[in-house]
Structure 1
Amino acid sequence: MKRRKLLGYAGAGVGVTLGMGVLNQAQAQSAGVTIRSLGHTAFLFTGGGRRILVNPFRSIGCTEGLPSPALPADIVMISSRLFDEGYLNDLPGEPRVLTDPGVYDFENLRVQGILTAHDRQGGRRFGNNTVWKWTQGGVTIVHMGGIAAPLGVEEQILLGRPDVMLVPVGGGPKAYTATEAVQAVQVLKPKIVIPTHYETTAAGDSCELAPVDEFLSLMQGTPVTRASSGSLGVRPNDLPSQGMRIQVYQYPRA
């Protein structure tokens, strides 16, 4: 395996400058971002001249029937070193890999990683989880990773109100249950909610996650859009002016 450029930083508020330039705000606002589901918590975000891959996994267990998410990207973010959200072995090219909480400044892009616990025992069982926040194509995105801990006041302030929030809903020992996910959504009040980390037909027999249905039932009254494909384009003008909507993706199959 060739050496990857791993960028880790402990302590939010510390900056890593990886490039310099002047942001063209008008171009960023008009471009938007395409969000492509790769299954589980893995997504590819394309927009603003960049491809950002979050949480590539190894196809095993709950991701057994999913194709490899190891796609070309400029930046790769992982929420933990667990196989279902931090598998880096097959990545093509030489992307920048972000692994730890902190503030990372690229040219025309700032990424913030926020530390949370990955379980309900303060991280003693599965360690820590990094929640990622960034703005791409004029759309502010929060990817919650595989979080299981409730959001504290500090985390709420850092995350603010995102345009798009990707949140695990399938439960298990290291991710939100449907009820916990609803609580997190009610705290952050995003404009678009994308549920992740739930059981699908691609899961193997060892998968113990719940399907997305319980989360949708608890969010009754919130409009739900089911994508006919694995990609969704979001522009700032597409965002709901009031309230929120839920976007459910069709996951790929191997």
Structure 2
Amino acid sequence: MELQFFGANCIRLSTKKARIVIDDNLGELGLKSITKPDDIVLKTNKRLPSHPSRFDADMPGEYEIAGAIIKGVGARAHMDGEKETTSVIYTVAADDIKVAIVGHIYPELTEEQLEQIGLVDVAIVPVGGNGYTLDAVGALKIIKQIEPKIIIPTHYADKEVNYQVPQQELSEALKILGMEPAETVAKYKPNPGALTDATHLVVLERQ
């Protein structure tokens, strides 16, 4: 599996059999959409735009496609009311790696949600805050609940991304998280045999 970051909360997971694109609203943010017609598309919120694709998911459920096992878990979005669940947390298991895509959720998960998410190797977590998504404090709460081996931060300030709500700088978020990047790379290829119980943070350069 290979992970690439394209800005905001947009990540592409490339497995041996498929490309999975998460939260491609790049066209709304002054960037170019990356979704291709043969891609699998996952949206953590129904309000995100649709693109021509081989498969499109925006709600809870379980799917098996192109060798990947995908699970969507309903969650309270950061701007939802107390009993609303308009956001979706996804887990993607492929190539002996399991990735969780958190999305813009309220920073508290129930035991039932944690059970559905299960053990995770890599967690993709927004950190930009400012009322729109998780800030570093909320991200840390989610990280402690999920206990991933690798954390990849997303949705932080970037002069090339035209956010509707200003986002916190990554450097400031990392101070609050109390973590230094183990590596900063253009592409991250998690090695199942090399992952340890210790949690590490990997920064992906925007492509």
TM-score (norm 2): 0.89
Q: 1:159: how far off?
A: 1.2
Mapped to 1, the partners of 2:92 and 2:80 lie a distance apart of: 28
Q: Does 1:39 align with 2:7?
A: yes
Q: 1:203: how far off?
A: 2.7
> Which residue of structure 1 lines up, in the alignment, with residue 46 of structure 2?
81
Task: Output one character per residue of 1:62-103: Cα deviation in whole Å (capped at 9) or x when no partner.
Answer: x32x33222354311111123xxx2224x4xx4111121011
Q: 1:135: how far off?
A: 0.7
Specify the code of the residue in structure 1 equivalent to 2:146: L
Specify the code of the residue in structure 2 equivalent to 1:44: R
> Do the aligned residues in 1 keep the contact of 2:8 with 2:154 (CA within 8 Å)?
yes
> Which residue of structure 2 lines up, in the alignment, with residue 17 of structure 1?
none
Q: Does 1:158 align with 2:116?
A: yes
Q: 1:205: how far off?
A: 7.4
Task: Output one character per residue of 1:85-142: Cα deviation in whole Å (capped at 9) or x when no partner.
Answer: x2224x4xx41111210112335332110001112543689x6110001211110010
Larger radius of gyration: 1
Residue of structure 2 aligned with 1:100, choices 59, 66, 90? 59
- Kindly, what percent of the aligned residue pairs are identical? 20
Task: Output one character per residue of 1:169-223: Cα deviation in whole Å (capped at 9) or x when no partner.
Answer: 1113331111000111011110110011111121337541111123211232555
With over 3 angstroms needed to count, the CA separation of the structure-2 counterparts of 1:96 and 1:221, relative to structure 1, is closer
Gaps of 5+ in 1: 1-32
For the aligned residue pairs, the C-alpha RMSD in angstroms reads 2.2
> Which residue of structure 2 lines up, in the alignment, with residue 145 of structure 1?
103
Higher relative contact order (CA 8 A, sep 6+): 1
Q: 1:51: how far off?
A: 1.1
With over 3 angstroms needed to count, the CA separation of the structure-2 counterparts of 1:174 and 1:98, relative to structure 1, is same
> Do the aligned residues in 2 keep the contact of 1:118 with 1:148 (CA within 8 Å)?
yes
Q: Does 1:213 align with 2:168?
A: no
Stretch moving more, 98-107 or 170-179: 98-107
Mapped to 1, the partners of 2:91 and 2:118 lie a distance apart of: 10
Gaps of 5+ in 2: none
Q: 1:162: how far off?
A: 0.6
Mapped to 1, the partners of 2:23 and 2:164 lie a distance apart of: 20
Report the number of matched residues. Answer: 207
Dislocated runs of 4+, deviation >6 Å: none
Mapped to 1, the partners of 2:66 and 2:35 lie a distance apart of: 24
> Which residue of structure 2 lines up, in the alignment, with residue 248 of structure 1?
203
Residue of structure 1 aligned with 2:148, choices 179, 183, 190? 190
With over 3 angstroms needed to count, the CA separation of the structure-2 counterparts of 1:235 and 1:73, relative to structure 1, is farther
Residue of structure 1 aligned with 2:68, choices 109, 114, 119? 109
Specify the code of the residue in structure 1 equivalent to 2:50: L
Mapped to 2, the partners of 1:67 and 1:166 lie a distance apart of: 21
Mapped to 2, the partners of 1:238 and 1:39 lie a distance apart of: 27
> Which residue of structure 1 lines up, in the alignment, with residue 126 of structure 2?
168
TM-score (norm 1): 0.74
Mapped to 1, the partners of 2:37 and 2:193 lie a distance apart of: 28
